[in-house]
A and B are shown apart, each in its own frame.
Chain A
């Protein structure tokens, strides 16, 4: 259709046909687009195909004068037959060779996903590797040697190792953000000449000292009440609260009268305990303490 549309809107001015080698014809047409008044020059190379058919003229003449009949033959001007792409015709040995080639290609494809061992790089699965134990033992030995050689090793008072970047450079473990934070803190401490913190100490230092544990709250208290009334009434700005977590019953979702409030600083937390412990709030007298003191008391 597009070809027809082009020819309708174009006016052909001139057409040149020159013959080239091997029976190829070059057709150059100059035309003007009627809508846009643009001039076009199109070059086409055409090679006519000639099929020789050997039929007797008398037989052909028999149905040369027949008129077309029937709905299917008359209904459309479209050609009812089309020339398909050339089929590669192989006979005899060429054909059997091509079959063999096809089969060989099939086998190459049907091998499936390539197996490769992660430890030794062989042609088998990881857990089937015969060298797996040997290689793992070797790696362990190497690590131990490295550990023994390293001078910058720190051990806490309770005997546990203290993480540093140098220690973890040889290990193949994932560094969590919390661990990274701790290692940063340790680095600072070591550089300033102080002793690094053990795991328990670090956790207490960081979180527990600035979290308040508020208990004996009324059942009707909500998060907003703590933010808007409890802290401002006792002289603390609400912006000093980082987050609030109300403890609730797992099954019913009912408030249990306890809340954990994280504030910005350790100093603020201490001030809160001093001011708010034993204060009446919503018909009850509340208890306020930091988590650090609470755990210490338990032990």
Chain B
């Protein structure tokens, strides 16, 4: 199995994403570095400089010309990927996650409750020809008075379902919220479903390629596969250690999950004992098929390439690895 080690980051990884075609790879870390790679050769094409804080969230446009990033210095920036120029800066809160809608018209950003900012989801209008965001959010979802009374915690991860029908959001106490996006655009936030599926923080949600179901990864050691329309838990995968991230592979019926012990506990345990390997599970039979060993710390992010031929993992130790699948991966017969 061919493995590429990408050397650029020194701090822990915050975000790893592919563009739509899967030829470019974007990585962002807690030191404020954003790097753009050729995902096949591992060549460093460029790095975006200008943020003074950690970069927890970013997203690239579908045509791979522009990029939106949010940082711990309380600003959003838009970039041209061709020459690395920043052409817009907006004051904002500290983002937790950032998603662009499927029709490239809106950018949704979840804001963490830090300093004067309240936990919210802000929706910006996005111009796909110029790459500019609207100066102010067109809609802002705040927690309702009922939520405050019930003690619902802040928004964390967000995502769009197929045709931008629903906007999904997770909270820090394991709730999954589903908003009707059309109603949200009109200012109506009451059309929503709320289920509690995890006992711990949900660290990641990722959608299948057709965006009809999603996978969650939580610190309570479970990863769950959820149908978008019915909100039913279709499968739940248990792990030995807390999970940070999970992904659904295209082409084959597999699921990748990864995580590990907390960074503060790592020094007291053996690297074998910490559960830092990435696990490959069968999506339907819930059977452990393989494991990828190589990271020395907990794995923060996984992104599977849209072609399904490789995946990238970013670790707490600042390493980024690109794993290229072998023929035995594609030829494995599961009996279906």
Which residues in A have some Cβ–Cβ distance to B below 8 Å? 51, 53, 55-56, 59-60, 62-63, 66-73, 80-92, 95-96
- CB of A87 within 8 A of CB of B293, answer yes
Q: Tell me, yes or no, whether B202 is within 8 Å of chain A by CB.
A: no
Q: Tell me, yes or no, whether B150 is within 8 Å of chain A by CB.
A: no
- CB of A87 within 8 A of CB of B3, answer yes
Q: B182: which A residues are within 8 A, CB to CB?
A: none
- With A80-B6, A83-B3, A95-B291 already in contact, the answer to whether A62 and B64 are too (CB < 8 A) is yes
Q: A96: which B residues are within 8 A, CB to CB?
A: 288
| Cβ contacts A to B, 14 pairs, < 8 Å | A55-B40, A63-B38, A63-B81, A69-B84, A81-B5, A81-B43, A82-B5, A83-B5, A86-B1, A87-B3, A88-B1, A91-B280, A95-B289, A95-B290
- CB of B4 within 8 A of CB of A84, answer yes
- CB of B46 within 8 A of CB of A82, answer no
- With A69-B84, A82-B5 already in contact, the answer to whether A91 and B44 are too (CB < 8 A) is no
How far does the alpha carbon of A51 sit from the alpha carbon of B324 in the complex, in Å?
Answer: 11
How far does the alpha carbon of A84 sit from the alpha carbon of B326 in the complex, in Å?
Answer: 15
- CB of A53 within 8 A of CB of B40, answer yes
Q: A66: which B residues are within 8 A, CB to CB?
A: 45-46, 81-83
Number of residue pairs spanning A and B whose beta carbons lie under 8 angstroms apart: 108
How far does the alpha carbon of A91 sit from the alpha carbon of B291 in the complex, in Å?
Answer: 8
How far does the alpha carbon of A60 sit from the alpha carbon of B35 in the complex, in Å?
Answer: 18
- CB of A67 within 8 A of CB of B83, answer yes
Q: Tell me, yes or no, whether B198 is within 8 Å of chain A by CB.
A: no
Residue of A nearest to B42 (CB): A81
Residue of B nearest to A65 (CB): B82
Q: B187: which A residues are within 8 A, CB to CB?
A: none
**How many chain B residues have a CB neighbour from A under 8 Å?**
45
How far does the alpha carbon of A72 sit from the alpha carbon of B7 in the complex, in Å?
Answer: 10
Q: B332: which A residues are within 8 A, CB to CB?
A: 91-92
- In the assembled complex, the CB of A30 is this many whole angstroms from the nearest CB of chain B, namely 34
Q: B294: which A residues are within 8 A, CB to CB?
A: 84, 87
How far does the alpha carbon of A89 sit from the alpha carbon of B64 in the complex, in Å?
Answer: 32
- CB of B329 within 8 A of CB of A89, answer yes
- CB of A59 within 8 A of CB of B21, answer yes
How far does the alpha carbon of A82 sit from the alpha carbon of B23 in the complex, in Å?
Answer: 18
Q: Tell me, yes or no, whether B49 is within 8 Å of chain A by CB.
A: yes
- CB of B44 within 8 A of CB of A73, answer yes
- With A82-B7, A91-B290 already in contact, the answer to whether A63 and B24 are too (CB < 8 A) is yes
Residue of B nearest to A72 (CB): B47
How far does the alpha carbon of A69 sit from the alpha carbon of B44 in the complex, in Å?
Answer: 10
- CB of A81 within 8 A of CB of B49, answer no
- CB of A72 within 8 A of CB of B23, answer no
- CB of B47 within 8 A of CB of A70, answer yes
- With A68-B46, A80-B44, A84-B3 already in contact, the answer to whether A60 and B329 are too (CB < 8 A) is no
Known: A63-B23, A85-B3, A89-B1. 17 other contacts (CB 8 A): A53-B40, A59-B21, A67-B83, A68-B46, A69-B46, A69-B83, A70-B47, A72-B8, A72-B44, A73-B47, A83-B3, A84-B3, A86-B3, A89-B326, A89-B328, A92-B332, A95-B288
- In the assembled complex, the CB of B131 is this many whole angstroms from the nearest CB of chain A, namely 15
How far does the alpha carbon of A63 sit from the alpha carbon of B83 in the complex, in Å?
Answer: 11
How far does the alpha carbon of A70 sit from the alpha carbon of B43 in the complex, in Å?
Answer: 14
Q: Tell me, yes or no, whether B264 is within 8 Å of chain A by CB.
A: no
Q: Tell me, yes or no, whether B292 is within 8 Å of chain A by CB.
A: yes
How far does the alpha carbon of A73 sit from the alpha carbon of B36 in the complex, in Å?
Answer: 9
Q: Tell me, yes or no, whether B48 is within 8 Å of chain A by CB.
A: yes
- In the assembled complex, the CB of B16 is this many whole angstroms from the nearest CB of chain A, namely 14
- In the assembled complex, the CB of B268 is this many whole angstroms from the nearest CB of chain A, namely 20
Candidates A63, A71, A89, A95; contact of B45 at CB < 8 Å: A63
How far does the alpha carbon of A82 sit from the alpha carbon of B6 in the complex, in Å?
Answer: 7
Top 6 A-B pairs, shortest CB-CB distance: A81-B42, A70-B47, A69-B84, A80-B44, A89-B1, A72-B47
How far does the alpha carbon of A55 sit from the alpha carbon of B40 in the complex, in Å?
Answer: 9
Q: B325: which A residues are within 8 A, CB to CB?
A: 89
- CB of A87 within 8 A of CB of B7, answer no
Q: Tell me, yes or no, whether B2 is within 8 Å of chain A by CB.
A: yes
Q: Tell me, yes or no, whether B33 is within 8 Å of chain A by CB.
A: yes
- With A55-B40, A87-B292, A92-B289 already in contact, the answer to whether A73 and B46 are too (CB < 8 A) is yes
How far does the alpha carbon of A285 sit from the alpha carbon of B157 in the complex, in Å?
Answer: 107
- Flag B11-51 by CB within 8 Å of A: 1 or 0 each: 00000000001011000000001010110111111111100
Q: A73: which B residues are within 8 A, CB to CB?
A: 35, 44-47
How far does the alpha carbon of A51 sit from the alpha carbon of B63 in the complex, in Å?
Answer: 27
Residue of B nearest to A81 (CB): B42
Residue of A nearest to B307 (CB): A54
Q: B84: which A residues are within 8 A, CB to CB?
A: 69-70
How far does the alpha carbon of A63 sit from the alpha carbon of B48 in the complex, in Å?
Answer: 16
Residue of A nearest to B65 (CB): A62
- In the assembled complex, the CB of A129 is this many whole angstroms from the nearest CB of chain B, namely 37
- In the assembled complex, the CB of A55 is this many whole angstroms from the nearest CB of chain B, namely 6
- In the assembled complex, the CB of B8 is this many whole angstroms from the nearest CB of chain A, namely 5
- Residue from A51, A53, A72, A96 with most neighbouring chain B CB atoms (10 Å): A72
